[in-house]
Structure 1
Amino acid sequence: MIFSPYVWGASLNGTAGLLGRSTDVNVPFREIFDNLDMTFMGNVDISNGTVGFFIDGQYVKTSQDENLRDNELALDIKTTTLAAGAYYRVYEQQLEGTTLFGNQRIFAIEPTVGVRWTRLEAGLEVGPYSGSRKVEWTDPFVGARVFYDINDRWNIFAEADIGGFGAGTKLSANGQIYLGYRTMVFDIPTTFRVGYRALYQDYKDNDTVENFKYDVTQHGPVVGFSVSF
């Protein structure tokens, strides 16, 4: 089992709408500490070397205030995302040497399949108009992940998937890539990671009076570590 807590400094870009009114969502990374509350996020991965399962979750809260045509606009968004899936190692090339943890160095490709649940709470105020909406949806997704041991300490991990297909969102896409460094911390195999992640979701709910829509990309750097048990 591998447990990986991390922090995702997710900027937001796109559009959000409520009560028939839309606004651009633009929370850049340089303003992250003013607009974004970052909380603990984590991933659990269990594998026998061929078949594996994973759970990944994060919570992001953003707030944005600006002036729009002489009216003050306030937008608050809380997003909770939980993904669960499985993967199967369809290709593995054994490389020369072993890792710091005593495992064979490898290059591996693993297709993935799973579901991603999202709960979104949004509040919008534009001048005298205000409204709030809480929605949730579940998207199936398919994708693949790639793992490469550069040497005994360094490795690269990349993953991408696409989903939605009208089941929850019209379309969703997720991608991430990390550079990892293996070391021992208190005699526990530990890999420190740094990378970048992006999650795009296009959700619309036109069946209610709130007429809610959320067409936003979360993206930004990720730092964390993985502990092997």
Structure 2
Amino acid sequence: MAVDFVTILNNLDSAFMLRFEAFHQSNWGVMADWAYMDLSKSHQQAKLGVFNARVRQGVLEVALAHKQSSPSVGQWINYVGLRRWDNTYQFDLEPNNFPQTALVDRDEDWIDIILGFKIDKPINNNWLFSTSGDIGGFGLAAKLTGSLKLGVSYHISDEWDASLLYKGTYVDYNTGDEADHSYFSYKTITHGPIISASYQF
């Protein structure tokens, strides 16, 4: 099932994305990326009452990284890290003449190992082409997970950059027995544009 951008936007309560990178002069460093969204929807039916749905998702990535550079490639970063998924699903019914009934109240979280790269290649004095990607899972938690991001950045000043990127993230995860109520399957591709500003110090 595909959920379009307009549907997500119309039911979005809150969302944010944060990214952090820190490197030592030895070229070793750490990277972190955190994305969160909170969606909710209520629907009233005259005979039954009010149906409420809420979905929350947080994805946190932390990695140990090493960077190098060359005139032909630009700056290249290799990294190994962890991606933590934190999903909450709540569905309940408020009948007209009875107490509220919880239909679904479930939390699912897991951690995947990821291996990735990031390349920043100058186009000219102000523009930079940027791409990054990773692959992980390997059956330790998710069967497979991966992401790909590409776009451009504009150098505003020594401290500030602005970026326009497109990112897609895939995951194939399941747990439990299909014949049991505890079974959970999560297989999605989440993708869309990212407009961001970054500060370097």
TM-score of the aligned structures, taking structure 1 as reference length:
0.71
**Residue segments in structure 1 that go unaligned for 5+ positions in a row:** 1-23, 67-71, 96-105
Aligned to 1:166: 139
Structure 1 CA distance for aligned equivalents of residues 112 and 7 of structure 2: 30
Q: For residues 90-139 of structure 1, what are the alpha-carbon distances to aligned partners after superposition, in whole Å with 9 as ceiling and x for unaligned?
A: 5x2237xxxxxxxxxx712222210011111123579x992221011010
Higher mean C-alpha displacement, 189-198 vs 206-215: 206-215
Aligned to 1:53: 30
- Per chain length, whose mean CA-contact separation is higher, i.e. which structure has more relative contact order (CA < 8 Å, sep 6+)? 1
Structure 1 CA distance for aligned equivalents of residues 53 and 193 of structure 2: 23
The Cα shift of 1:77 comes to 2.1
Structure 1 CA distance for aligned equivalents of residues 90 and 183 of structure 2: 13
Aligned to 1:85: 63
Aligned 8 A contact 1:39 1:60 in 2:
yes
RMSD: 2.7
Q: How does 1:172-183 map to 2 (within 5 A)?
A: 172-183=145-156
Structure 2 CA distance for aligned equivalents of residues 63 and 81 of structure 1: 18
Aligned to 1:204: 174
Aligned 8 A contact 1:27 1:35 in 2:
no
Structure 1 runs (4+) greater than 6 angstroms displaced: none
Structure 2 CA distance for aligned equivalents of residues 75 and 29 of structure 1: 18
Aligned 8 A contact 1:116 1:140 in 2:
yes
Instruction: Give the counterpart of 1:130 among 103, 109, 123.
Output: 103
Structure 1 CA distance for aligned equivalents of residues 168 and 92 of structure 2: 27
TM-score of the aligned structures, taking structure 2 as reference length:
0.80
Aligned to 2:12: 36
Structure 2 CA distance for aligned equivalents of residues 228 and 130 of structure 1: 47
Higher mean C-alpha displacement, 44-53 vs 30-39: 30-39
Identical-pair percentage: 24
